[in-house]
Amino acid sequence: MIRIMKEYDLGQPFMQVRSVPVSLGKGKEEARLFVHANTPNLDPWEEAMTFPVDTLKMTLIAADGTHLWQRDLGINVIPGIWFSPFISFDLDGDGVDEIWYVNETHPKRPFSFEHRVLERIDPLTGETTGQWPWPRDLVHETMSHAYRFNLAAGYAHGAPVLICGQGTYGDMYLQGYSAGMELRWKLKIAASEPGARAAHHTIVFDINKDGVDEIFWGERVLSVDDGHELFCGDRDSFKAHSDILIPFEDPESGKIYVYTCREGQNSAPRVVLYDDRMNAVWRSPDGGHMHGGWVAAIGENRRYVAMALSLALDAKGGDIHSSTPILYYFDAVTGRRIDNPLTLSGEMVMPVDINGDGYSEFFVTKGDRRGDVMDRFGETLAHFDGNLITIGKILDLPGQQAMLGIRDQGKVIVVGDDEAVDGPGAKYRDYNRFMQHMMGSGYNSFNAHPDSLLGK
Ligand SMILES: [Ca+2]
Ligand SMILES: [Ca+2]
Ligand SMILES: [Ca+2]
């Protein structure tokens, strides 16, 4: 039965929320960290920036719903995904996930670089256990370039590596840290260098199966071990940034592919499918600003369909987000254009394999059926009121789940199928669970931008 599997009361209404799992140590049930504010997400792009009307709160809630601690980050921390990324990650290997976030320590200087730090919190006490200066290489850039920060993590032959990133569209800086916060590697990718910029979505995945994770910094694939570049898709023909990167395994061939939707640089193809060495398998010739998309296993024998959503480029500045999108559907592996195979527009739904059988179900995010969980034929399986926060393997249980926010009540629910059985997706369980730790950084928590998913 599809039902509410978990319910969390944040104690106050919210307009934005991000969430990651937090391990409290062996034998203890996993807690959940929520970072939330009753003000919409603030973007550093000058054309989209607004003023906040609330401060960010960090709330750690135990599995049984008990509030363990809460901290108000204050007016110095701008309530926006790019200004204030966070992750949970066990860098010191003691079984407890430390909480890492970009903090602004001056109480009255929200834009300061001088006082900006990477901060570590012990989840067991809620206390700060370390602060390190945040790199300030982008201090002279425009606001949209200067305040795009990322946190990620991965493993190199079992050793944990924490990754910090600054910049998305021009100069980009990355640092890898080993246990003890020892600098393991650092990298500058200059604006003048060829190859892709970053993406709004960062995945960490051992694509060549050599025991070392790779970080997909856009279409550029870097080793988390030493930061070296393994592959860079379309290095000589694409220099802009991508919106989404989604890895999937073709059930027929067992091959791994990476589906990419691009923004910027309108002269290049907008949608590309890469193989596991970042060689392009197909490229869509269409122009447009591909702002979102998904892949869903809804064809015969779980064959993947890919969707790409283009925003109209004639809208000015931040209003682009409310323009009428154009949608494209492809056979994901061949790139053949197909008609929408669903009964609803692809922009209204997000795929989620709620029963674990390897076929995608969908959560409806817009329109009359908003809140429905539907199967691939359009049949309603269940209904829940709330705004979609994220989907994926949120709980350590078979199948995938959807996390919804009931904003005015300050509540978060996790919806899943208590009879789910893990089918073909079971082999990617570790990847899917690990990615949950990075849902507080970038637009990782959704395959498109928040305002298109949270519903209006
Ligand atoms: Ca730890
Ligand atoms: Ca690897
Ligand atoms: Ca399914």
| Ligand at shortest distance from the CA of 375 | 3
Ligand 3 centroid distance, CA of 306 (Å): 16
| Ligand at shortest distance from the CA of 373 | 3
Ligand 2 centroid distance, CA of 214 (Å): 5
| Ligand at shortest distance from the CA of 361 | 3
| Ligand at shortest distance from the CA of 88 | 1
| Ligand at shortest distance from the CA of 225 | 2
Instruction: Record the pTM.
Output: 0.94
Ligand 2 centroid distance, CA of 125 (Å): 35
| Ligand at shortest distance from the CA of 156 | 2
Ligand 1 centroid distance, CA of 132 (Å): 17
The one-digit pLDDT tens for each residue of the chain (456 residues) are 999 999 999 999 999 999 999 999 999 999 999 999 999 999 999 988 889 999 999 999 999 999 999 999 999 999 999 999 999 999 999 999 999 999 999 999 999 999 999 999 999 999 999 999 999 999 999 999 999 999 999 999 999 999 999 999 999 999 999 999 999 999 999 999 999 999 988 999 999 999 999 999 999 999 999 999 999 999 999 999 998 899 999 999 999 999 999 986 667 899 999 999 999 999 997 777 888 899 999 999 999 999 998 876 555 566 655 667 889 999 999 999 999 999 999 999 999 999 999 999 999 999 999 999 999 999 999 999 999 999 999 999 999 999 999 999 999 999 999 999 988 778 888 888 999 999 999 988 765 333 332 222
Ligand 3 centroid distance, CA of 116 (Å): 44
| Ligand at shortest distance from the CA of 120 | 1
Ligand 2 centroid distance, CA of 93 (Å): 21
| Ligand at shortest distance from the CA of 228 | 2
Ligand 2 centroid distance, CA of 182 (Å): 22
AA identity, residue 415: V
Ligand 1 centroid distance, CA of 99 (Å): 9
| Ligand at shortest distance from the CA of 214 | 2
Ligand 3 centroid distance, CA of 343 (Å): 17
Ligand 1 centroid distance, CA of 142 (Å): 36
Ligand 1 centroid distance, CA of 396 (Å): 19
